[in-house]
Amino acid sequence: MEWGNIEKRIVNLKNAVEVAAVRSFLERFELSFDETLDYTLAFYREEGLVATGSLQGEVLRNIAIDETLQGAGLTSQVVSSLMSEAARRGQYHYFLYTKPDKAHLFNALGFQLVAQADSYAALLETGLGSIASYCRSLVTCTAHLPQGPRAALVVNCNPFTLGHQAVIAKAARENAAVIVLVVSEDKSLFPFEVRLKLIKEGLADYSNVAVVPGGKYIVSAATFPGYFTKGQQTVAAQTRLDATIFATRIAPELGITVRYVGDEPYCPVTNAYNQALQDILPAHGIEVKVMPRLAVEGEAISASRVRELIRQEQWEAVRLLVPDSTYRYLTSPEAAAVLAAIRQSNSRH
């Protein structure tokens, strides 16, 4: 397709030469090319690359325009082309990452700011659904909780362990109500629906605890892709952006005044996330409580330890680390596919 003297091309993501051209172009804007992208466009003028943009799920990424053509309408062409492709794939809500000083450029294209993390990054959105409607749904899901001070935890629980249970139980004792937001991304060995089920079963005795899906605004592929991709240089931006969304949009709507986290001696990404929470949340009136990990026989309980014991078929050791409800699931026929995936993987998620 040609627009003026600009030709639009779909990049073959399996073609090393085409990918290298996009990657080189993005380096001029201090942007990196992600190998897991779903779709990438390149715009050429006389065989010179002058603009590009990519799609990953509902996230529009890596939008860059040659300096000499900025303001000439190419940004709109890139964005509208990516949104059209996303719609063709059945996606009608769109996120867009950009630098804070560029956010205003996308307001005219219908994008609204979700949150901005200092000088690191801004997340915008448009289409069906919004952070406001998401917060309203959370308010509805937690309306039955007792009145009074509210705490929150964000958990993945891959799987739900006695360590998770102990931190949530402490929060339930210290607050009138607790909201447990479960990471919804299905990028863990235990599928989201299984994790949600095990958490609810493990907390069934706590009447002041609500367990709800975290959705797309908490530790998701949009707000925090670094959680699932170890070692990205963008971890600082992502952790602070996710923490800012929670502090400025989610916590005020739910009346949350304290957030509990477990200490993290193993995973540097989660440790950076905890630090971002401690840096950002108190400035918005939200206390952060870092809880020591529960230990069994001198060793801290972790979901990764449980998975390793499963690989080793050490079921008695597993039983010491998980609630009865989790253990019943793990030893049931229902868990066969998950156990097979665990045995074949060394993934930290």
What is the model's pLDDT at position 65? 93
Pinpoint the alpha helices (H) of the chain: 16-27, 74-88, 104-107, 131-141, 162-174, 192-202, 235-245, 251-254, 268-280, 303-311, 315-319, 324-330, 336-343
- pLDDT score recorded for residue 266: 65
Domain count, the chain: 2
* Residue that terminates a domain, selected from 105, 129, 153: 129
296 and 193 fall within a common domain: yes
Of 311, 248, 260, 322, residue with least CA distance to 289: 260
Task: Examine the fold and report which residue of 77, 112, 129 is the final residue of a domain before the chain moves on.
Answer: 129
Alpha-carbon distance of 33 to 152, in angstroms, equals: 35
Residues 12 and 113 in one domain: yes
Query: CA quadruple 92, 93, 99, 105: dihedral positive or negative?
Result: positive
Whole-number Å distance between alpha carbons of 349 and 347: 5
Q: Are residues 106 and 245 in the same domain?
A: no
Q: Residue 98: its pLDDT value, please?
A: 82
- What was the pLDDT predicted at 297? 80
* Dihedrals phi, psi of 286, to nearest 5 degrees: -115, 120
What pLDDT score does 348 carry? Answer: 61
**Tell me, what's the pLDDT at 228?**
42
**How wide is the angle at C-alpha 341 spanned by C-alphas 227 and 223, nearest 5°?**
15
Residues 252, 170 share a domain: yes
Which range marks the domain in which residue 19 is found?
2-129
Q: What is the pLDDT of residue 318?
A: 97
Q: Are residues 241 and 96 in the same domain?
A: no
**Residues in the chain with pLDDT < 50?**
1-2, 226-232
Q: Report the CATH number that the domain containing residue 309 is assigned in CATH.
A: 3.40.50.620
CB contact at 8 A, 138 and 217: no
Closest C-alpha among 145, 132, 134, 123 to residue 255? 145
Task: Please give the pLDDT value at position 234.
Answer: 65
158 and 45, same domain (yes or no): no
Q: Are residues 253 and 154 located together in one domain of the fold?
A: yes
Residues in contact with 77: Cβ distance below 8 Å, sequence separation at least 6, in sequence order: 3, 6, 8, 43, 51
* Whether residue 146 sits in one domain with residue 79: no
Q: What's CA 282's distance to the chain center, in Å? A: 21
Q: What is the CATH number of the domain that holds 53?
A: 3.40.630.30
* Pairwise CA distance, residues 116 & 96, whole Å: 12
As a whole number of angstroms, the distance between CA 143 and CA 139 comes to 6
pLDDT, tens digit (0-9, with 9 covering 90-100), for 180-206: 999 998 889 999 999 999 999 999 999
Output phi, psi for 269, to 5 deg: -70, -45
Write down the pLDDT at residue 265.
65
How buried is 147 (Cβ within 10 angstroms: 0-12 exposed, 13-18 middle, 19+ buried)? exposed
**Which residue among 103, 129, 155 closes a domain?**
129
Q: pTM, whole model, 2 decimals? A: 0.89
Q: Which two tokens stand for residue 50?
A: 């002058």
pLDDT tens per residue across span 59-102: 998 899 998 888 778 999 999 999 999 999 999 999 998 888 88
- Same domain for 110 and 155, yes or no, is no
Query: Amino acid identity, residue 23?
Result: R
Query: 173 and 27, same structural domain?
Result: no
Q: Which amino acid is at 330?
A: L
140 and 108 both lie in a single domain: no
Q: What is the pLDDT at residue 72?
A: 75
Q: Do residues 138 and 246 lie in contact, with contact meaning Cβ atoms separated by under 8 Å?
A: no
- Residue 222 and residue 80 share a domain: no
Q: Given this model, what pLDDT does residue 294 score?
A: 86
